[in-house]
Amino acid sequence: MTYRDPAVAAAALRAAARVDLGAISSNVARVKEIVGPAEVMAVVKAEGYGHGLVQSALAAVEGGATWLGVAFLEEAVALRAAGIGVRILCWLGTPGEPVAEAVTADIDVSASAPWAIAEIANAALEVGRVARVHLKVDTGLSRGGAVMGDWPELVQAAAKARAEGYVEIVGLWSHLVHGSNPAHPTTALQIGAFNDALSYAASVGVTPQIRHFANSGGLLLVPGTRFDLVRAGLATYGLSPVPDQRDSASFGLRPAMTLTARLALTKKVPAGTGVSYSHRYVTPVPTMLGLVPLGYADGVPRTATNNAEVLVRGRSSTVRRTISGTVCMDQFVVDLGPGDDDFAAGDDVVLFGPGDRGEPTAQDWADACDTISYEIVTRIGVRVPRVYEGA
C-alpha cells in the first residue's frame, strides 16, 4: 500500500515510513560532486533499501544517476516495466534463471563463472540479441566473482562468446571488503588485485567500457576505487557507511526515511508493574504507558527491547523515551513517565528520521540494536505504508 499524500497518511495511518524523494535526488547529486568524472549507479535492490524500488530509482535518476543496480532479475524487469530507460545491472542469479528476459529488456547481467557465460550466450541466441555482460572478479571478499586463479577462464569464455556475436563485454568489476576504511591493508591489496585482473583482460583483448569497484564507503573515502563508475548504495538514501563518521551530514547527505506511528493506547499503571512478555521491564514509579502499533513483523528489531529510543509528541511536550519491555510481533510499549495527561491515543511517535528535530536516527537504532543502519531501513515490512514526499 502506498500513500502519496502525507496529509492522508497523517490522518489515517497507524504507522508510515515517510520517504523524502528530494533527499534521495540530492544525495545522488552530492555523490556526483564527490566522485567527479565517474558515473553514478544508484543501487535500488531490496525495494530501494526499503524506501521503494521504482520511487527511489526515479528520484535517483532525477539526481543524476545514469545507472541503476539491483541484485535480482525480477527487480530489473520491474524497473523496465515502470518505463525507466537508464542502464540497469543485475548481478545475482542461479543456473536456469530466465536470462532471456533480461537480454530482451536490454538489462546488463553479471557473470562470475563460465557456466553463467554459457547461459547468457544461449539466452542471446534464443532472442536474437547481443547480451550486455559485466565480468566480476573476486579480489578478496570471497563472495561473488571469480577468484584470481579462475579469472582467465572466465575472461576467455566471455571473449569467445563475444567473438561468436552473443555478448558485449561492457564492464569488469569487483567489491570492497573494507570500503569504509581506506587505511586497512586489505583495501590496497584489493586495488592491486583488481588492476591485475584488468591487465590480464587487456592482454587477451578485453577492454571494458566501464570499470567499477567502489561502493558507498569506497566512493566517499577511497578515491583509488572510483574508476569509471561508482555504486552508491547506502549513500543514495542519506546514511553513512563509515563507522567513525556516522553523521551522514558530514558528507553532505541527508537520511531519506522517517519511520512514524501513532499511539494506540495510553494508560496509568502503579509502580512495580511488569510490562510485555516475560516482564523484562518493570515500572519503577507510578507512570503512564503508551502502546505503539509496530513490532518485529514490521521490522522493529526484537533487540530494541529496553534499548532503542523513540520520540513522542504530546499535546504540550515532546520527549524521547526508551522502548519498555519486550518488542512483540505487532506492538511495543513505551514508559512515558509520571505526570499529567499530556499524552493520549493518536499522538505521534517517531522511531527514527534525519535527527534534526530531536528524533533518533537509523544509526542510533543500529547502535542500540548492535547492527548496521542498512538493516534498520531495509527490514521495514510491507504492513508499513510508504508515504512519498518531496518529489
Residue 167 three-state SS: strand
The answer to whether 267 is a known catalytic residue is: no
Q: Which residues contact 322 (CB under 8 A, 6 or more apart)?
A: 306, 307, 308, 309, 334, 335
Report in angstroms the alpha-carbon separations of 184 from 111, 218, 231, 243, 300: 28, 12, 20, 13, 33
Q: How far apart are CA 68 and CA 186, in angstroms?
A: 27
Single out the catalytic residue among 45, 136, 296, 374: 45
> Is residue 241 packed enough to be buried (19+ CB in 10 Å), middle (13-18) or exposed (0-12)?
buried
Single out the catalytic residue among 200, 268, 277, 374: 277
Q: Which residue has the cell 519498555?
A: 324
Q: How far apart are CA 285 and CA 296, in angstroms?
A: 28
The answer to whether residues 329 and 296 touch, using CB atoms and an 8 Å cutoff, is yes
Q: How far apart are CA 247 and CA 220, in angstroms?
A: 13
Residue 221 three-state SS: helix
Closest residue by Cα to residue 298 from 35, 33, 16: 16
Active site residues: 45, 277
